[in-house]
């Protein structure tokens, strides 16, 4: 007897129509000020942007934050002194009490306020989801206008896991009332470095 795979592929081959070409994506980006648009969009979806000039500014801002229960900083040497976890956790579950996680993003997208993050920037994939609050360090110069430019930038980069994250976790499942902090982080703050 043939396998499910063969049966499915045979049925598809028998039924698929004559081949049509794959269109090129030629979609122009609007002329916008990228940092302004990014900030505006993120504010609209419940995120917050703090403009800074350098890591010293971030350290200043975070002075009080070091008092929080557990602070995880992945892969940002400039902020390692704030880290309260002294090892890289082997099990993702051990991050469950993370109050605040600070991570770096590869770039941001102005049209939707998303930042692109790949696994190499994280201790564990679950970190930006399991923490109560998420802060992201982003270079203003890395912001692109839209998702086409975003994928152009990603290109054929290889990653085990990558994600666009746009704002705090949210739900409106109960009578369409918007509530922040469904299962992921309750807030998302971006440190936008204007260098």
Region from 51-59, 67-75, 98-106, 176-184 binding another protein, contact rule CB under 8 A: 176-184
Residues in region 93-122 near another protein by CB under 8 A: 93, 96, 109, 111-114
- Assess 35 for contact with another protein (CB under 8 A): no
Region from 55-63, 66-74, 78-86, 92-100 binding another protein, contact rule CB under 8 A: 92-100
- Assess 168 for contact with another protein (CB under 8 A): yes
By beta-carbon proximity to another protein, the closer residue of 33 and 152 is: 152
Radius of gyration of the chain (CA): 20
What three-state secondary structure class fits 193?
Answer: strand
By beta-carbon proximity to another protein, the closer residue of 31 and 64 is: 31
- Residue 88 tokens read as 């890289």
Region from 16-24, 57-65, 98-106, 135-143 binding another protein, contact rule CB under 8 A: 16-24
- Assess 87 for contact with another protein (CB under 8 A): no
CA distance 23 to 43: 35
Of 32, 50, 129, 142, which lies in the binding site for another protein, with binding defined by CB under 8 A? 129
- Assess 187 for contact with another protein (CB under 8 A): no
- Assess 52 for contact with another protein (CB under 8 A): no
Region from 26-34, 64-72, 73-81, 99-107 binding another protein, contact rule CB under 8 A: 26-34
CB of 169 to another protein, least distance (A): 4
CA distance 161 to 155: 15
CA distance 117 to 175: 32
Structure-token match 């269109």, residue found: 23
By beta-carbon proximity to another protein, the closer residue of 4 and 195 is: 4
3-state SS of 21-49? CCCCCCCCCCCCCHHHHHHHHHHHCCCEE
E strand or H helix at 147: helix 147-154
CA distance 78 to 58: 10
What is the per-residue DSSP string for 7-24?
HHHHHHHHH--S--PPPP
122, burial (CB in 10 Å: exposed 0-12, middle 13-18, buried 19+): buried
CB of 194 to another protein, least distance (A): 23
CB of 143 to another protein, least distance (A): 14
């Amino acid at each position: 007897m043939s396998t499910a795979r063969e049966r499915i592929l045979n049925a598809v081959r028998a039924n698929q129509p004559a081949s049509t070409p794959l269109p090129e994506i030629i979609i122009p980006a609007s002329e916008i000020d990228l940092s302004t648009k990014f900030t505006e969009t993120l504010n609209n979806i419940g995120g917050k942007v703090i403009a800074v000039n350098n890591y010293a500014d971030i350290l200043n801002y975070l002075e009080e934050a070091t008092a929080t229960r557990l602070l995880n900083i992945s892969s940002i040497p400039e902020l390692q002194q704030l880290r309260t976890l002294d090892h890289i956790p082997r099990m993702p579950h051990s991050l469950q009490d993370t109050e605040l996680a600070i991570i770096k993003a590869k770039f941001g997208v102005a049209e939707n306020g998303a930042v692109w993050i790949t696994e190499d920037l994280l201790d564990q994939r679950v970190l930006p989801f399991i923490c109560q609050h998420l802060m992201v360090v982003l270079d203003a110069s890395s912001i692109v206008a839209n998702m086409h430019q975003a994928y152009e930038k990603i290109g054929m980069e290889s990653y085990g896991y990558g994600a666009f994250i746009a704002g705090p976790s949210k739900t409106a499942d109960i009578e369409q009332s918007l509530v922040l902090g469904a299962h992921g982080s309750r807030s998302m703050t971006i440190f936008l470095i204007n260098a």
